[in-house]
Amino acid sequence: MTQTVLHIDSSIRAEGSVSRALSQKITSRFEGATVLRRDLADGVPLIDGAWIGANFTPAADRTDEQKAVLATSDAMVAELQAADVIVIGTPIYNFSVTAAMKAWIDLVARAGVTFQYSETGPKGLLTGKRAIIAIASGGTPVDSEIDFAGRYIRHIMGFIGITDVEFVKADSLGNGGDEKIAEANAQVDKIAA
- The rounded distance, in Å, linking the Cα atoms of 40 and 103 is 9
Residues 6 or more apart whose Cβ sits within 8 Å of residue 93? 99, 149
Residue 19 assigned as binding residue: yes
Strands 164-170 and 130-136: parallel
Q: Are 122 and 159 in contact (CB under 8 A)?
A: yes
Residue 137 assigned as binding residue: no
Residue 11 assigned as binding residue: yes
* Nearest by Cα to 168 from 12, 36, 13, 29: 29
Residues 6 or more apart whose Cβ sits within 8 Å of residue 11? 17, 19, 20, 41, 89, 90, 91, 98, 136
Q: Are 138 and 176 in contact (CB under 8 A)?
A: no
Q: Name the binding residues.
A: 11, 17-19
Residues annotated within the binding site for FMN are 11, 17-19
